[in-house]
Amino acid sequence: MNQIRRNLSTDEQLALLKRGVADLVSEDDLRRKIERGAPLRVKLGADPTRPDLHLGHAVILRKMRQFQDLGHTVIMLIGDFTAIIGDPTGKSKTRPPLTLEETRANAQSYLDQCKLILRDDPEVLELRFNGEWLEPMGYADVIRLASRYTVARIMERDDFKKRFESGTPISVHELLYPLTQGYDSVALRSDVELGGTDQLFNNLVGRALQRDYDQEPQVVMTLPLLVGLDGVEKMSKSLDNYIGLTDEPHLMFAKLMKVPDPLMENYFTLLTDLPQERIAEILAGHPVTAHRELAREVVGWLHPGADLDAAEERFKAVAKGSIPENIPTATISVSELGEDGRVSLARLVALTGLEPSNGAARKLIGNRGLKLNGETYTDGHGSLSREDLGKEGGTVIQKGKDRFVRLILEV
């Protein structure tokens, strides 16, 4: 995905854009829009409820990049206002709302990370916030918008239906969410809206509202939700089954080597540009070789200057139980030690940033997820002495398979 490709035929463009797509409503509409020859306005809305992106987000961002490479304008719409409501999609209970300040703080991280994949060129990238048109709306405006859709149609949504039938409360503001998101498409006059398969209903609402506002309805294109490293749930930071867009090359390489075998074809299709024939050829070979090819493709794409050989060698060394040579170093002052000259290992883990708190560190230790100088450590209330920390070469703390910190006592 490196060059603008405006010279492709309509059929060639459609073939490229349809790769990996789950829903396309409709292909005929998309063909007609492309054949006009004018750049399309392609929208992706994201509520910045969390500040970091992962490869699950990259699936849709790659599709946006393909539109950019074909000369179309993509609109990265930050739902700073809709995030205050909280998208109820897939939720079994009402989500806690965020403040406008929280959503805008998260949004900056979103925008910075999106540009790792998208072309940062004003000709093909437009950045917008839906607070621009939603925040100024008055009560009468909301009533007029609500009059354009029926409760029966809103209740067709599977998650609303299940919650209603089970007696789980549904707040009125949640019923307004699909309308609010759909109105974004009206405000932006989008030609195409992208989203995950879980957003199909919301995006179709936008298509219906555009028609009601005498606009040409947008094409709705959804992509599969990338299943995480646990092989069960969709990729999510909260489930710790994710690969972050900003993960270091060696860490990203190691995580990709752990993708469950049944998901390999999906990962290759959604995260690489390799032809399907080549993917089939790779998957027909040894699984380790296939994982290696996937890791090198994805890491090489997100980290163009990375030393892939070094990342692979580090993975092999760690897999054999070795401690890599080049690992981060952290220092601890003697002032951190107690009167008895000791400090709890849980506190050290938190100080190094491997866990956010002493409690989280104790939980990690109790789950046998931490090693000290290569040996599994299981005492969540254990401590290290000044002599332990002062040994030559420092103390190596390891979280999981490939997160290391060398701790040095500063005297």
Q: What is the pLDDT of residues 40-61, one digit of tens each?
A: 999 999 877 666 789 999 999 9
The dihedrals phi and psi of 192, each to the nearest 5 degrees, come to -140, 140
| pLDDT score of 162 | 85
- E strands, 6-83, are 23-25, 41-46, 73-78
CATH number of 249-319: 1.10.240.10
Calpha distance 124→103 (Å, rounded): 25
Q: How is residue 62 written in tokens?
A: 């790659």
Q: Is 219 a residue whose pLDDT tops 60? A: yes
| pLDDT score of 106 | 73
Residue bearing tokens 């075998």: 261
Calpha distance 341→240 (Å, rounded): 35
Average pLDDT, stretch 225-242?
90
Q: How is residue 72 written in tokens?
A: 């179309």
Beta bridge partners of 407: 330, 395
- The SS3 of residue 134 is helix
State pTM to two decimals: 0.81
Q: Judge whether 80 and 105 are in contact, CB under 8 Å.
A: no
- Winning range, highest mean pLDDT, from 1-15, 97-111, 259-273: 259-273
CATH class for the region spanning 329-410: alpha beta
| pLDDT score of 4 | 56
H or E element, residue 183: helix 172-188
Structure confidence by residue, pLDDT tens digits, 355-408: 989 999 999 999 899 998 888 998 888 888 888 887 877 888 999 878 888 888
Work out whether strand 329-333 and strand 403-410 pair parallel, antiparallel, or are unpaired. parallel
Domains of the chain, by residue range, sit at 10-223, 249-319, 329-410
| pLDDT score of 303 | 94
H or E element, residue 125: strand 125-129
| pLDDT score of 94 | 46
Residues contacting 64, CB < 8 A, separation 6+:
42, 44, 74, 76, 117, 118, 194
Average pLDDT, stretch 99-115?
77
Q: Which residues of 154-182 are buried (b: 16+ CB within 10 A; e: fewer)?
A: beebebbeebeeeeeebeeebbbbbbbbb
| pLDDT score of 83 | 73
Q: Is 89 a residue whose pLDDT tops 70? A: no
| pLDDT score of 6 | 64
Average pLDDT, stretch 82-91?
59
Q: State how far Cα 166 lies from the chain centre.
A: 31
Q: Is 234 annotated as a binding residue?
A: no
Calpha distance 285→51 (Å, rounded): 38
Average pLDDT, stretch 111-139?
91
| pLDDT score of 93 | 46
Residues contacting 77, CB < 8 A, separation 6+:
43, 44, 45, 46, 128, 129, 130, 184, 188
Calpha distance 323→375 (Å, rounded): 11
209 confidence band (pLDDT: 50, 70, 90)? very high
Q: Judge whether 24 and 30 are in contact, CB under 8 Å.
A: yes
Residue bearing tokens 């290391």: 404
Q: How is residue 298 written in tokens?
A: 């994805």
Q: Is 178 a residue whose pLDDT tops 50? A: yes
Give the domain 10-223 fold.
Answer: Rossmann fold (3.40.50)
Q: Is 5 a residue whose pLDDT tops 70? A: no
Structure confidence by residue, pLDDT tens digits, 265-315: 999 999 999 999 999 999 999 999 999 999 999 999 999 999 999 999 989
Residues contacting 277, CB < 8 A, separation 6+:
none
Q: What is the mean pLDDT of the chain?
A: 88
Q: Is 327 a residue whose pLDDT tops 80? A: yes
Task: Considering only CA atoms, give the Rg of the chain.
Answer: 25
Calpha distance 403→318 (Å, rounded): 10
> Residue 294 is which amino acid?
L
* DSSP structure class, residue 218: P
Q: Is 105 a residue whose pLDDT tops 90? A: no
